[in-house]
């Protein structure tokens, strides 16, 4: 299994946990019905794009780490 698949699986699980926590807080706070649509979309977009960049950068670094070590000479 490649690192990208592992990273994306981790990201999707983290997103599911994020949704569960967010909806439980929204239900607890008894916010208006519009919040059930708007707030999760905004927060999920920010969470998912941040997670995507983290997974992408870590995957690139781990993929090219052996070549960088050869170039440096360690």
Give the per-residue pLDDT at 8. 79
The region that residue 30 occupies, defined by phi over 0 for left and psi between -120 and 50 for alpha, beta otherwise, is left
- Asked whether 15 and 55 are in contact (CB, 8 A), the reply is no
Give the per-residue pLDDT at 33. 59
Give the per-residue pLDDT at 37. 65
Total domains in the chain come to 1
pTM of the predicted protein model: 0.47
Q: Both tokens of residue 66?
A: 């052996």
> Which residue segment(s) compose the domain that 30 sits in?
3-72
The region that residue 2 occupies, defined by phi over 0 for left and psi between -120 and 50 for alpha, beta otherwise, is beta
Give the per-residue pLDDT at 38. 65
Number of Cβ atoms within 10 Å of the Cβ of 47: 17
Give the per-residue pLDDT at 35. 61
Residues 11-53 have pLDDT tens digits of: 788 878 877 877 777 676 665 555 666 667 667 777 777 877 8
């Amino acid at each position: 299994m490649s690192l990208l698949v592992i990273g994306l699986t981790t990201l999707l699980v983290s997103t599911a946990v994020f949704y569960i926590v967010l909806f439980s807080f929204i239900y607890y706070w008894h916010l208006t019905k519009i919040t059930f649509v708007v707030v999760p979309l905004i927060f999920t977009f920010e969470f998912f794009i941040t997670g995507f960049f983290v997974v992408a950068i870590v995957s690139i670094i781990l993929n090219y780490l052996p070549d960088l070590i050869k170039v440096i000479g360690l």
